[in-house]
């Protein structure tokens, strides 16, 4: 583990950091062995909306990076996914909360190992094309799966795990029950 991975940045230093964040199991409640295929199936995790607002106000960039193989499996269309993301956007906007700087998703099947699909680095490298000031050594990946942590390892990014009972692994720098508890940790 590199030296910078041992500590979360002080809240006053977060404005120099990029936060990469997974969606299912972090922002919305995961649907075991299925996908949020329409807005009615997308249910925010408790406290996630307020946590996202606070995070957006303290980080330089926040980039949503999510695998969405339900599109690749043809269980939903790209428009269905956009409608789900629109619900997320509208929920934040209705409270005058800021939205993500960038939303990227990988609709590819797991067995195809596409460069965009986590744990591959394609989405993060694309984010850096949009925001050349992204420094992976000053970045945090917040996710709930082994793939999220493996992605962070490839670019030497601080790894924050949000607990999700469907995954068993121990390859993270920090673990929190939910996004709200992560925000509290940054504040302390």
Q: Tell how strand 174-176 and strand 158-162 pair up.
A: parallel
Q: Which CATH class is domain 10-187?
A: alpha beta
Position 109 pLDDT exceeds 90: yes
pLDDT tens per residue, range 36-69: 999 999 999 999 999 999 999 999 999 999 999 9
Per-domain boundaries in the chain: 10-187
Cα gap 63→136, rounded to integer Å: 13
pLDDT at 6: 62
Angle between helices 48-58 and 78-93 (to 10 degrees): 80
188 pLDDT band, cuts 50/70/90, is: confident
Cα gap 133→66, rounded to integer Å: 21
pLDDT at 10: 87
4 pLDDT band, cuts 50/70/90, is: very low
Catalytic residues: 22, 24
This prediction has a pTM of 0.93
pLDDT at 125: 98
pLDDT tens per residue, range 114-124: 999 999 999 99
- Look up residue 151 and give its two tokens: 């992605």
Average pLDDT over residues 180-185: 95
pLDDT tens per residue, range 6-39: 689 988 899 999 999 999 999 999 998 889 999 9
pLDDT at 11: 87
Contacts of the segment 176-179: beta carbons below 8 A, 24+ positions apart? 178/45, 178/46, 178/47, 178/48, 178/51, 179/26, 179/27, 179/45, 179/47, 179/48, 179/51, 179/52, 179/55, 179/142
């Amino acid at each position: 583990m590199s030296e910078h991975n041992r500590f979360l940045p002080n809240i006053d230093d977060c404005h120099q950091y990029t936060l990469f964040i997974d969606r299912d199991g972090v922002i919305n409640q995961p649907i075991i062995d299925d996908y949020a295929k329409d807005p009615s199936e997308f249910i925010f995790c408790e406290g996630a909306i307020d946590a996202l607002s606070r995070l957006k106000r303290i980080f330089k960039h926040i980039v949503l990076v999510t695998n969405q193989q339900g599109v690749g499996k043809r269980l939903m269309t790209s428009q269905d996914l956009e409608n789900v993301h629109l619900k997320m956007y509208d929920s934040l906007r209705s409270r005058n909360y800021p939205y993500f700087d960038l939303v990227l998703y990988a609709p590819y099947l797991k067995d195809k190992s596409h460069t965009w699909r986590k744990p591959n680095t394609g989405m993060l490298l694309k984010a850096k094309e949009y925001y050349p000031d992204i420094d992976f050594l000053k970045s945090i990946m917040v996710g709930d799966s082994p793939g999220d942590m493996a992605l962070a390892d490839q670019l030497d990014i601080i790894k924050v795990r949000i607990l999700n009972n469907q995954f068993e692994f121990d390859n993270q720098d920090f673990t929190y029950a939910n996004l709200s508890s992560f925000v509290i940790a940054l504040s302390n």
